[in-house]
Structure 1
Amino acid sequence: MMFDGRDEEEILGLMRSSLPSFAPCRLEAVYLRSGDELTPRLPEGGTEPDLDAGVGALGPTGGALKAGDDGWLWAFPMNSKKVIEGYLVVRGDREPSPEDRFLLQVLSQQTAAALASVSLHERERENVLALSRFNEELTESVRRLERQRAVHEVLNRISVSGAGVTGIAHAVHELTNLPVAIEDPFGHLMVWTGEGELPKPGERRYSRLKERAVVHGRPLHEDGWVLSVVRPRTEVLGMLMLVDPGQVAGEHELFVVEYATTVLALELAHRRSLAEVELRVRRDLMDDLIAGTDDESAYARAAVVGHDLHGRHHVVIVRWRHRRGVEAIAHAAERVLGGWQRQILKSRHAGALVLLVDGEVDGPALYEGMATLLGSRTGAIGVGGRCAAPADIPRSHAEALQALNIRLESASPDGATTFDQLGVYRILSTAENREEVESFVREWLGKLLDYDRKRGSELVLTLFQYLECGGNYDQAAAALMIHRSTLRYRLARIRSIAALDLADVDTRLNLHVAARAWQVLRGKDTEIGEP
């Protein structure tokens, strides 16, 4: 009876009902293996933890379990082809006879075999279903190939004829008899085959439809539109759309859109490749300019890519910690500099963006503009000195890199530093002598720095502004926004704490150099009024 097509639950029920006829025992529990775990299937109310632990510790032959004060408790293994499928646990008032125990073992093995048979039939049914699904998919693939032949000739002819995006749009219109629109990745209309203007729905609804099309991955037919994303790999290059207010587009129209999307992806990818070639030419030029090349060759090569190297230029190096990478950083820099009517050449070096900008560059303003566009202030900019000719570009690049490194190694690594702002520090600061510069600052300002740190005072800043103002009390007090008498008091404290003679020329010079180096190390501007 166990092998006449019953399911697992019916087999277990049959075993449970027939158990008393085999031996004077009753069913305590049934454990079945699921993967590496033993799971109790009977009784429905669950089992005790002690029983679960005891069964879990059994070997392949089963055995006696702790029965407490309630008679005899034994677990019979449920074997199927030498594999333990589970255990049949029975309880009796006394230990059954050897003959009864033999019958219980047979019942256990018979139940295991029936359950294994059910599992085998289920796998066979799954295989049949899988084969059926495969046949359906194969049939659908054949139908798609047949449909492809119907439109292949038209779209392939357009693809090789050089008709471009416009030719593809008109071919789709011819094959579907529906208006066709093609947009670029930013939503700007490239081609429209219908009359009048493209009838867009509300902006929010239109954006939602395009977002759904991107997620869908296949042509999306919804709300009177068929939308297909042009995405040869992972980057979206555009959108192909049918305007279908009558909801007449069917399988044929969807296939035309899908195949046309593939052809359009090749066309737009080709356009992108040409643009990348031009960009690579620009990068190669920029790399050679940084390495150093003759002026005549530089002027000629720059003219090929539409950049006039005559006139003043500056090298700008940008490092920004941003999740969207260097492309987003470059786009932000181009937008800011483009708003200033600046022409640029760009390249990448060691993960940084390197720009050659015509005209003057306001480093702090460039930083603020990029921070706004990127939504992040975790970036640093170094601006090199002025280039009067291409031969000056390697020097400006080295200066921009030095300014950037000083900014990154300072106490305020985010912001912009111009080489011209570094003053005497641009002579002192290199990667090799940074420790010497810091030691020099500590030698002349160490006592004042320690005092400021402990007391929360501003004696070093006061000394810096006093020296920047050439010892003029009124200007220094105004820059610090304190009273003249307060300035005199602070200077007296400086003389007392540091044991320094501010009237000594050599002492003033060393203090001024140390104070300027201190300002640069902490990432601050050195101009009066902006400590």
Structure 2
Amino acid sequence: MPNSVSMTHGDETPAPLSTWYKLLVVAMGMSERRHEDAILHLVRTSLPFLAPCSIEAAFRYAGGDLRPWPGTARADDVLVEQIHALGPGGGLLPATRDDWRWVFPLACPEMVRGFLVVHGDGKPPVDARFLFQVLGRQVGTALAGAALHGEDHAQLTRLRESNDKLTRLVTRLRRQTAVYETLTAASASGEGASAIARAVHELTGLPITIEDPFGNPLAWAGHDEPPPGTKTDARGRQALLDKVAAYTGAPFRDHERVVSVVRPGTDLLGLLLLSDPGRRAGQHELFVVGYATTILALELAHQRNLAEVELRVHRDLVDDLVEGTDDESAYARAAAVGHDLRVPHHVLVVRWNHHRHNGETRRAVQQVLRSWRRHALASRHSGATVVVVADGSVDGAALHEALARELGTGTGAIGIGGRCETPSALPRSYAQALQALDIRLGSAAPHGATAFDQLGVYRILSSTTGREHVRAFVREWLGPLLDYDAKRGSSLVRTLFQYLESGGNYDAAAAALLIHRSTLRYRLARIREIGGLDLTEVDTRLNLHVATRGWQILSSPEP
């Protein structure tokens, strides 16, 4: 019969089967909990359904001492002493006639984890001892499982934290490796500070400017050109240099930019300025700037050493070239410094009035020509900067404008000599450049550029070369027309001469030539076409007039 089924323990009266079923349900619920508080809450709420009692207190061992379970009654020293007196098996506590109190251990196979103190009215149930022993073992086992789960969770959390730290470390190392590779490749590219600036901008996403010790931009990236005000005023520059003087290591912030000092030794080689108005620069950006500074220091120190050697070699070579040397020796010496003299050259002479070191003019000329991808040799010679430029003519006006920007003043003049096919002709081009420079300096507009080939009549007036020089001038301006006349038997040069002698009057010129006015118009049109001449341009008319007069003189027999 179902109602007679029971479980016994020793001499105790058997508990009803429904009580063990409820205990089983509670045990299953505890096994599903993963936290001690949840297990104790389940026991507290379920105990009245198992026996006519409730939990009075709960204790656990912590550091060898019994302490109240968090969230239960506060510590009662008397109760703790009573529990100790009962021993690990627990048992009944002293109570009044109308109630009872029982301590049962929360035990698992390895240890007793604590005690529960239950309280009930009247007399304790006859089967309470066995029931509380089973319940205590179930609670102890559940608490042990929760503790293991907590330890596993803590271990898993520690593993995850360690894995996250390792992941961040690997990511940082990868980013640093990318920084090393990118900046090393930039340094090895041969493009100098420009490549380093582009690499820093690529790695940080922030605009960057690299300055020389004087505040002049050497390279930049992140903007098309140095932003307005990149070169600070004298007071602001001095304030920045005062900060630089106290620099001891890492990059530092100066208002809306990060500044890193390029100073491998005692000499300041430059500054690396990272524009950061939004203060975005963090550890990665500072690492990039720091390593870029190291690479840049090596690059600029190498450039300085090369420049010093190159300056000495170039000075000697340029001196010999403009003073005169044989072609083969010149070819070999130029090739040794990486310059090809086997292409046409022009000699430039530059004089500039500024308050900088004399070498600044040479440096500025070299920098401008380098930016134009023009190959040149430059040196100081006889108080001026002499430049031997390869590959065609030089735009003097553009060069003067660029040097004015570079040197901060337009108070300078440039003389440009004629074309030379061989090194042995360079002294002539040098003399022509000096002549052009002297004419420019003695003119009403002494600041600018003058090419010897554009001197026109002034070249004749200032020359002492005599008839041969006149012949060269005539050939320069009338060459295509003279060749056409010689080939076709025409008289275009004579027509131009009479037209200019007549002051551009069609009727007078036609009458002098004994031709019709329309014929004169046709010949002038052919002159414009064959000679590529603009007869409406004042300087062109003047030079043509002088050239046609020279042709007239040369056509006459010499005395």
Q: Which has the larger radius of gyration?
A: 2
**Do these two structures clear the TM 0.5 threshold for a shared fold by scoring above it?**
no
Q: TM-score range by the shorter chain?
A: 0.3 to 0.5
The TM-score, its normalising length taken from structure 1, stands at 0.39
The TM-score, its normalising length taken from structure 2, stands at 0.37
